[in-house]
Amino acid sequence: MTDLRESRPAGVVQDGAPVSRRVILLLAVVCGVAVGNVYFPQAIGPTVAAGLGVSPDAAALTVTAVQFGYAAGIFLLVPLGDRIAHRRLIVTLLGLTGLGLLAAGAAPSLGPLVGASALIGVTTVIAPIAGPLAVGLVPEDRRGAVSGTLLSGSIGGMLLSRTLGGTLGQWLGWRAPYLLAAVLALATAALLWRVLPRTSPPSRQRYPALLAEPLRLLRAESELRRSCFYQAMVFGGFSAVWTGVALLLTGSAYGMGARAVGALALVNAATMLCTPYAGRATDRRGPDAVNLVSMLVVLAAAVVLVFGALGGTGGMVALVVGTLLLDIGMQSGMVANQVRFYALRPEARSRLNTAYMTCGYLGGSLGSWAGARAYAAVGWPGVCALVAVLVAAALVRHAFARRKPRGAPAPVRPAAGPEASAAP
């Protein structure tokens, strides 16, 4: 069979070829713009409830819908990153996301808004496509650092989207954040079409085979399953907290507006500085050590967050410290998980990421749902207890994991099936 390395068109960036640091930074910004669409609805849930005349519990369906949509988009669309050129795929998805955001901003009632939210979630899966692209553009010993840089961009999107979403929602109504996000998505799509380097996809598999591959990889790769379980548990707790904290801050204990949720998220901007460090630590010490520390940090966050129910200055300090620890632990663990499974099969990074991110966001969606129910049934302490139970499950799984010697590289599997000759 013909080796695709001999037939790439001029101008195509090959795997591992040097690229400008500005390209990596641009991809980090794009990740932030896309990921923000999943998180700003968390800050405007009470505003949506007031604007549409529904209960806060019902308005929380917009958060659940966008996260379930995101999980579906990861499963259905991210595998195409191994089959379609990244520039074309990313720009197309950003354009569709912009249209979905416009539809959400014009929704006349909760039903259409929930439907548009699901569409936004499906198409805004840029970060899990950009991640495999970026690690293929740098040498192996920089993959942890680059993953950390892109994750910093995603964190910035999560934080700023909550802040801007909460502020705009309180000042201009709940539709304003959707319309601003639509403008950002469409403008970013136009910029990427001019700037993003051309790449050659490594696979020639048909779409049904690409969809089936993540399930086969989950069955075949125990290290992938382990990373998926860690992320589903920890991200489930993370989503439960950020769904519940909007209800807590706007409830009787604090009596604040939606803008307070965004301000609390902005305080956690320090997390952006921690993920590159976590990436370098993973490059040096391996993923297991970083995973263990990150889980313990999340468990400590659950304990600190309980005191947020007290209200007043002391309660607010507990929320600030607890959410900061929660963000640091979740994001650092994600870097370690990605370094672990990206090394398994370089020719199938998008499909590995599909399996991982689908499991993670299913956990996050269920965490948002369970967090809203726990808050309604028990209050804020119930949300914190839910976080502790989820991270304890991850710690138990980690304790029984088969440990590799420190510093031992993960095995690289050979390509298999019809794409073997297409691997770069």
Tell me the pLDDT tens digit for each residue of 214-240: 889 989 898 999 999 999 999 999 989
Which residue do the tokens 């998220």 mark? 265
Full residue range of the structural domain in which residue 89 is found:
18-195+211-401
Residue 136: what pLDDT? 67
Residue 180: what pLDDT? 93
Lowest mean per-residue pLDDT among 101-105, 250-254, 270-274: 270-274
The answer, yes or no, to whether residue 420 has pLDDT greater than 70, is: no
Q: Is residue 409 part of a domain?
A: no
Q: Is residue 232 part of a domain?
A: yes
Q: What is the pTM of this model?
A: 0.68
Q: What is the mean pLDDT of residues 373-384?
A: 92
Cα 227 from Cα 86, distance rounded (Å): 25
Q: What is the mean pLDDT of residues 90-97?
A: 94
Q: Is residue 360 part of a domain?
A: yes
Task: State how far Cα 135 lies from the chain centre.
Answer: 17
The answer, yes or no, to whether residue 398 has pLDDT greater than 80, is: yes
The answer, yes or no, to whether residue 97 has pLDDT greater than 60, is: yes
Residue 87: what pLDDT? 83
Residue 12: what pLDDT? 42
Side chain identity, residue 4: L
Which among 22-26, 200-204, 261-265, 286-290 has the top mean pLDDT? 286-290
Q: Is residue 80 part of a domain?
A: yes
Specify the higher pLDDT residue, 341 or 406. Answer: 341
Greatest Cα-to-Cα distance within the chain, rounded to the nearest angstrom = 69
Tell me the pLDDT tens digit for each residue of 293-318: 999 999 999 999 999 988 888 999 99
Q: What is the mean pLDDT of the chain?
A: 81
Q: Is residue 146 part of a domain?
A: yes
Q: What is the mean pLDDT of residues 131-143?
A: 69
Residue 6: what pLDDT? 32
> What is the SS3 assignment for the chain?
CCCHHHCCCCCEECCCCCCCHHHHHHHHHHHHHHHHHHHHHHHCHHHHHHHHCCCHHHHCHHHHHHHHHHHHHHHHHHHHHHCCCHHHHHHHHHHHHHHHHHHHHCCCCHHHHHHHHHHHHHHCCCHHHHHHHHHCCCCHHHHHHHHHHHHHHHHHHHHHHHHHHHHHHHHHCCHHHHHHHHHHHHHHHHHHHHHCCEECCCCCCCHHHHHHHHHHHHHHCHHHHHHHHHHHHHHHHHHHHHHHHHHHHCCCCCCCCHHHHHHHHHHHHHHHHHHHHHHHHHHHHCHHHHHHHHHHHHHHHHHHHHHHHHCHHHHHHHHHHHHHHHHHHHHHHHHHHHHHHHCCCHHHHHHHHHHHHHHHHHHHHHHHHHHHHHHHHHCHHHHHHHHHHHHHHHHHHHHCCCCCCCCCCCCCCCCCHHHHHHCC
Cα 307 from Cα 315, distance rounded (Å): 6
Instruction: Write out the two tokens for 300.
Output: 């400590």
Residue 294: what pLDDT? 93
Q: Is residue 10 part of a domain?
A: no
Side chain identity, residue 191: L
Specify the higher pLDDT residue, 144 or 117. Answer: 117
Give percent above pLDDT 90 in the chain. 30
Task: State how far Cα 246 lies from the chain centre.
Answer: 19
Q: What is the mean pLDDT of residues 398-405?
A: 69
Evaluate whether 345 touches 415 at the Cβ level (below 8 Å).
yes
Q: What is the mean pLDDT of residues 138-150?
A: 70
Q: State the CATH number of the domain containing residue 370.
A: 1.20.1250.20
Residue 139: what pLDDT? 65
Q: Is residue 420 part of a domain?
A: no
Tell me the pLDDT tens digit for each residue of 47-87: 888 888 888 778 888 888 998 898 788 888 888 887 888 88
Specify the higher pLDDT residue, 185 or 78. Answer: 185
Tally of structural domains, the chain: 1
Specify the higher pLDDT residue, 255 or 200. Answer: 255
> Using 50, 70 and 90 to split pLDDT, how confident is the model at 419?
very low
Cα 124 from Cα 48, distance rounded (Å): 21
Tell me the pLDDT tens digit for each residue of 107-122: 898 889 999 999 999 9
Cα→Cα distances 152→13, 156, 178, 327, Å: 24, 6, 23, 11
Residue 259: what pLDDT? 66
Q: Is residue 56 part of a domain?
A: yes
> Using 50, 70 and 90 to split pLDDT, how confident is the model at 143?
low
